[in-house]
Amino acid sequence: MKIYRNLIKTMAVLTAVSSFVACSDFLDEEDESNFTSDTYFTKAEHAESAVNGIYEPLVPITSSGFGGGTWMMLEFATGLANTALGQATNIYLVKDLINTSDNGYGNSFWNEYYTGISRANLAIEKIPEINMDEAQKQNYLAEAKFFRAYYYFGLVRMFGNIPIITSSVDLTSEDLYPEQATAEAVYDLIVADLTEAENSTLPWRDESGRVSMGAVKTLLADVYLTMAGYPLQQTENYQLAANKAKEVIDSGVFSLFDSYDDLHNPATKNTGEYIFMTQFAANIQSGNWQPGILPYNLGISAYSAQTGGIFSTNEFADSYEDGDKRANEKEFYFRSYSLEADRNDSINLGAPYLFKHFDIAANEESAQSDLNWCIYRYADVLLMYAEASNEAGSGPSADAYEAVNLIRQRAEVPDLAGLTQETFREAVRIERIHELSFENKTWFDMARWRKAYNPVTNMLEDFVGHTYTYLPNKALSERELLFPIPTSEMQNNPNLEQNSGY
């Protein structure tokens, strides 16, 4: 798709127009070919370029190598992931409950997401001044507001009270050393941005990979659902979450894939079940997490780096119901694979690795992945709706049962039926954990539920006091409900207060 590849190329080579540094005063003349924030935003192409730059901070988050990968932070914090990568200090800080503000993963999330916010702020500030088609202008602004909401949503859940910055910042700005805002204030901004983004003509789906109306409403449903849980506990938002998820369902645009193979098939990107994804393209901006999900140097891949960075614990991979298709070999996980040197020969990998993220063609042939990274898919929306509508009502409705059972039918496990509000709540939560495993969803769910999953008992337990199966003598405490604000930020901004326990 030409539009899709143009977006990737723009992101890959983009030099952000998000910060501008004045020339030293030894220059007597200005070079009129140099762009500044005052001269750049003059035509529609500039608006598009500025918005394209807001997509780019999504890319480094998924990168994986011998240092692990930023996205892995949210998986090791669940206690359901394991690693064979001995030198990745950042992994063990999270995995073994000894995390500190020096963790490079937290620093990457903070820096990349605030970079995205900075670029969104600049676009929101400058695009209204451009003389261009008004509907297209509003759509570009809707994309920018979606991203500002998305990045703030990630930050407030990970770090709690964080600075709110809504304008471009330079060395003279009052916001150079911003104070922290309450989580409630951050959520108010998120909801305002997404509500404004809804008032655009964005299509329900955009197969080029750009933000769509489906993405806006899905994110808003997720935001309302989170606001209804901890720490805000604004339970009236359960109904709002159900309403937004139902709008996505009723659009008729999205549907579950028939096969789990489509979850890691490059040909299906931005179609079917997928609502919003980080965009990649082989030989342009290749999907960059493959080395991190490969077993450590067992020779199964065309990639030279095979790091063993992350895989499922045995207990979690074994926790699916009897007969659950997702637990079958080469559905969500795989325990053996053919050798790169001889595809007729295979090797036992010794652990359940992540097949749902595995690019077969890249690993067997090119070492260039064409897979996108999924941020939202339709299964998530169905589970949001089932959970939110159950909480908003006095128990599960027929529509709530239908939503969760569509997912269970694909997994070839029996439908849920005849449950109370409490037992349906537990069942849907466990369904989320199993269906959305290793998609950067579970830790966020655990934090808003204040519950953690025990894969041995297949039950949810209180978050505080929960122990990981591999770390039975050390329990989760309240401090693990947030990550520490990075050391560099604490040193650079005297107005920040560190999260409790770090």
Q: Is residue 281 part of a domain?
A: no
φ, ψ of residue 282 to 5 degrees: the values are: -55, 140
Q: What percent of the chain has pLDDT over 90?
A: 89
pLDDT over 80 (residue 499): yes
Confidence (pLDDT) at 38 = 65
> For 78-97, what is the mean pLDDT?
96
pLDDT over 60 (residue 15): no
Question: Could you tell me if 296 and 253 lie in one domain?
Answer: no
Q: How far apart are CA 344 and CA 336, in angstroms?
A: 13
Q: How far apart are CA 281 and CA 394, in angstroms?
A: 46
Q: Is residue 59 part of a domain?
A: no
- In 3D, which of 212, 242, 209 has the Cα closest to residue 227? 242
φ, ψ of residue 419 to 5 degrees: the values are: -100, 155
Q: Is residue 197 part of a domain?
A: no
Query: Which helix or strand (DSSP H or E) is residue 111 part of?
Result: helix 104-126
Q: How far apart are CA 176 and CA 196, in angstroms?
A: 27
In the chain, the number of structural domains is 2
> For 249-264, what is the mean pLDDT?
98
pLDDT over 80 (residue 123): yes
φ, ψ of residue 290 to 5 degrees: the values are: -55, -50
pLDDT over 90 (residue 20): no
The string of pLDDT tens digits covering residues 347-379 is 999 999 999 999 999 999 999 999 999 999 999
Q: How far apart are CA 85 and CA 322, in angstroms?
A: 31
Question: Could you tell me if 367 and 299 lie in one domain?
Answer: yes
Question: Could you tell me if 394 and 264 lie in one domain?
Answer: yes
Whether 200 contacts 139, CB under 8 Å? yes
Question: Could you tell me if 424 and 353 lie in one domain?
Answer: no
Question: Could you tell me if 261 and 395 lie in one domain?
Answer: yes
Question: Could you tell me if 347 and 390 lie in one domain?
Answer: no
Q: Is residue 247 part of a domain?
A: yes
pLDDT over 60 (residue 33): no
Q: How far apart are CA 185 and CA 264, in angstroms?
A: 38
Q: Is residue 45 part of a domain?
A: no
Last residue of a domain, one of 384, 417, 440: 440
The number of residues making up the chain comes to: 502
pLDDT over 80 (residue 31): no
Q: Is residue 241 part of a domain?
A: yes
- In 3D, which of 308, 307, 332 has the Cα closest to residue 318? 332
Confidence (pLDDT) at 40 = 77
Distances, alpha carbon 10 to alpha carbons 49, 55, 198, in Å: 8, 10, 26
Q: Which domain range does residue 420 map to?
A: 202-276+375-440
pLDDT over 90 (residue 16): no
The string of pLDDT tens digits covering residues 147-176 is 999 999 999 999 999 999 999 877 777 778
Q: Is residue 348 part of a domain?
A: yes
The string of pLDDT tens digits covering residues 462-494 is 999 999 999 999 999 999 999 999 999 999 999
Which DSSP state fits 365? I
pLDDT over 80 (residue 221): yes
Distances, alpha carbon 159 to alpha carbons 109, 479, 502, in Å: 10, 11, 12
Question: Could you tell me if 404 and 428 lie in one domain?
Answer: yes
Q: How far apart are CA 140 and CA 117, in angstroms?
A: 15
The sign of the dihedral angle between the CA atoms of 410, 206, 292, 464 is negative
Q: How far apart are CA 278 and CA 466, in angstroms?
A: 33
pLDDT over 90 (residue 257): yes
Task: State the average pLDDT for the chain.
Answer: 93
Q: Is residue 99 part of a domain?
A: no
- In 3D, which of 478, 473, 106, 80 has the Cα closest to residue 311? 80
The string of pLDDT tens digits covering residues 320-330 is 999 999 999 99
Whether 276 contacts 369, CB under 8 Å? no
Confidence (pLDDT) at 35 = 52
Question: Could you tell me if 419 and 431 lie in one domain?
Answer: yes
Last residue of a domain, one of 372, 390, 405: 372
Confidence (pLDDT) at 18 = 39
Last residue of a domain, one of 372, 390, 416: 372
Quick one: pLDDT band at residue 14, thresholds 50, 70, 90? very low
Q: How far apart are CA 217 and CA 243, in angstroms?
A: 10
Whether 461 contacts 454, CB under 8 Å? yes
Question: Could you tell me if 233 and 379 lie in one domain?
Answer: yes
Question: Could you tell me if 315 and 428 lie in one domain?
Answer: no
Q: How far apart are CA 374 and CA 229, in angstroms?
A: 24
Tell me the β-bridge partners of 353: 334
Q: How far apart are CA 442 and CA 363, in angstroms?
A: 27
The string of pLDDT tens digits covering residues 415-463 is 999 999 999 999 999 999 999 999 999 999 999 999 999 999 999 999 9
433: CATH: 1.25.40.900
- pTM, entire model: 0.93
**3-state SS, residue 356:** helix
Residue 127 has which token pair? 């695009």
pLDDT over 60 (residue 30): no
Question: Could you tell me if 365 and 216 lie in one domain?
Answer: no
Question: Could you tell me if 368 and 379 lie in one domain?
Answer: no
pLDDT over 70 (residue 237): yes
How many C-beta atoms surround the C-beta of residue 425 within 10 A? 19
